[in-house]
Amino acid sequence: MGVTQELKKMSRTMREYFSIRKLRAGQEEVIRSIVGGQNTLAIMPTGAGKSLCYQLPALHLPGSTIVVSPLISLMKDQVDKLEEAGIGAAQVNSALTEREQRENVLQIETQEEGFIFTTPERLTAPEFLDSLKGNKIDFVVIDESHCISEWGHDFRPSYLALGSAIKALGSPPVLALTATATPEVIADIQKQLGLSRMHVINTGIYRPNLQYEVLRVTNELEKKQHLSRLLAETEGTGIIYCATVKTVEALVDFFEGSDFKVRPYHGKLARLERRENQELFMRGKLKAMIATSAFGLGIDKPDIRAVVHYQMPGSLEAYYQESGRAGRDGKLARCILFYQLDDRRTQLFFMGGRHPKSEQIISVYETLKSLRADESGARLSEVQEGATAVPKAKVRVILSLLKEMKVVREARYARFKLQRRDLGHNEIEALSQQFEKKGEKDREKLERMMLYGQSAACRWKLLHEYFDEPFEEQSCGVCDNCQHPLEERLGVSLPQPVAAAAEPADGEHGSRSDQHQFKEGDTVETEKYGQGRVKEIEGDKLVILFADGEKRIFKSQFVERA
């Protein structure tokens, strides 16, 4: 059966199981690619419906679909939604009891479920790969695939073994999904998966309902005053991102006893407390979740009205990914960055310990030699136990680079075999320099983040330039820099107003529609601020006076006659 016929059948499934009548931009192209058996990388913004891209084809293919997810909470959410739609799915992760895991693995071995959700750690475990041997695997989905890239903002070493695990399954087609990826990260995803040819589908990052703003601040008191005001202005729920656990706890204490119900979320909280706080947030019982970057990946709450970055993140990828959790319902939402120079020091401190040093490379290499890894190969866990001075996550990163340098070979079931026992000092220094380059790249990304906070240009234009995507408009009309240009904020007089265009003569066509031909004194309406009166006209920009006494500047296409 052809792809077009399959899509017709899928449209019925889409209506019956998911109550969706029409695919969004990019979804059909991704589905066509998967049904056609192509390895595919789909870059789609938050809220664009990435899950449907694998759910629909999986329901129409004969075997099982493996979905790899970095977060157990995200996995549970996806399984629950499928089961609500009457679709069976099995999940295997560390949050289940031993009995639940045994039962789910048995379901997988007897091929009772079409969807298999698991973590990268579990998929790469030899015993779990053995349980999948009898299954026909239609394709493997790697959610949040930017986590596989060492050049990305959210790199997770556990993802590095996925390429070998997929080969062990017989190299079924791969669908890699992410909301953000620079050209460098795209190339690295393909390299780490061992897939030189992937069909890359990028639907673009632009979401016109997100209103980006930057608030310049100089101290903690100023930050807290701004934050209190923003929470009071926000109708609905928000997320407040902090760079450190200490800041999260300090803000929770600050709001204790206030009118705002907030809860913390970070990696040092007990799992039960994290789950309880997340459930309160999802049910709309909190004004805001105050969290580190540990919160939010895959959170499917459509009505988040504001995302505030109380401290600056380390890159524009991280900022876009986290701020993009606002406004998934398509309605106006605010994304606000508090810009303080001191935050740069915090991020530089984190970067200092992110990449392995030469002595850590030597430790891993000597451990491999002591384990006689050139004979039967050494398991990852054995190398991690042997290299006691190296954090476990960094052991996997070092092994990955040694593999690239053809010093080790990764055998089936994540065993590492030494190909050379004569690694010299100069080569170790060369390996160390590779990690130093990654550190330099991290610092470059932080500087781009700083420039974003300082810039007077359109926020959306800056984001498009960073992700190497075209942005045809000179301004978005909704960010702070477009609504309040630099000359207005500095109190500089605007140029003399340009007279409104004359009405076209009979038979002629004006360059703008009638609704965009305004004159001074007109009563107009904007989506966020309501009604106001046109005070001045500057080309295609209108200076509007509102009831609160404030003047604001809008492009004419974002204004309607009252």
CATH of the domain at 408: 1.10.10.10
pLDDT confidence tier of residue 449, bands split at 50, 70 and 90? very high
The pLDDT of residue 174 is 97
| End-of-domain residue from the set 432, 466, 500 | 466
pLDDT digits (tens, 9 = 90+) for 316-367: 999 999 999 999 999 999 999 999 988 999 998 888 777 888 889 889 988 9
pLDDT digits (tens, 9 = 90+) for 211-226: 999 999 989 999 999 9
| End-of-domain residue from the set 176, 202, 228 | 202
Do 391 and 452 lie in a common domain? no
Do 107 and 143 lie in a common domain? yes
- Answer yes or no: is 439 within a domain: no
Do 118 and 258 lie in a common domain? no
How many domains does the chain contain in total? 4
Do 460 and 548 lie in a common domain? no
The pLDDT of residue 496 is 39
pLDDT confidence tier of residue 452, bands split at 50, 70 and 90? very high
Report percent pLDDT > 90 for the chain. Answer: 37
Do 335 and 402 lie in a common domain? no
Do 228 and 196 lie in a common domain? no
Residue 555, pLDDT above cutoff 80: no
Contact (Cβ atoms closer than 8 angstroms) between residue 242 and residue 291 = yes
pLDDT digits (tens, 9 = 90+) for 146-179: 888 876 667 787 888 898 889 989 999 999 999 8
Amino acid identity, residue 259? D
- Answer yes or no: is 428 within a domain: no
- Answer yes or no: is 537 within a domain: yes
Do 448 and 513 lie in a common domain? no
| End-of-domain residue from the set 202, 237, 263 | 202
Contact (Cβ atoms closer than 8 angstroms) between residue 480 and residue 459 = yes
- Answer yes or no: is 29 within a domain: yes
Range of the domain at 163: 3-202
Do 325 and 449 lie in a common domain? yes
Do 339 and 300 lie in a common domain? yes
Q: 22-36, 91-105, 307-321, 401-415: lowest mean pLDDT where?
A: 401-415
- Answer yes or no: is 501 within a domain: yes
**Which segments of 112-216 does DSSP mark as H helices, in order?**
120-123, 126-131, 162-168, 183-193
Do 12 and 116 lie in a common domain? yes
Report percent pLDDT > 70 for the chain. Answer: 91
Q: Which of 209, 202, 210 is nearest to 25 (CA)?
A: 202
Rounded distance between C-alpha atoms, residue 306 and residue 283, angstroms = 16
- Answer yes or no: is 437 within a domain: no
Rounded distance between C-alpha atoms, residue 552 and residue 534, angstroms = 10
Residue 528 belongs to domain with CATH number: 2.30.30.30
- Answer yes or no: is 471 within a domain: no
Residue 44 belongs to domain with CATH number: 3.40.50.300
What average pLDDT does this structure show over 26-36? 91
- Answer yes or no: is 436 within a domain: no
Rounded distance between C-alpha atoms, residue 494 and residue 507, angstroms = 35
Give me 319's structure tokens. Answer: 């900022």
Q: Which of 64, 205, 212, 92 is nearest to 146 (CA)?
A: 205
Do 49 and 179 lie in a common domain? yes
Do 312 and 198 lie in a common domain? no
- Whole-model pTM: value is 0.77
Residue 430 CB contacts under 8 Å (≥ 6 apart), including other chains: none
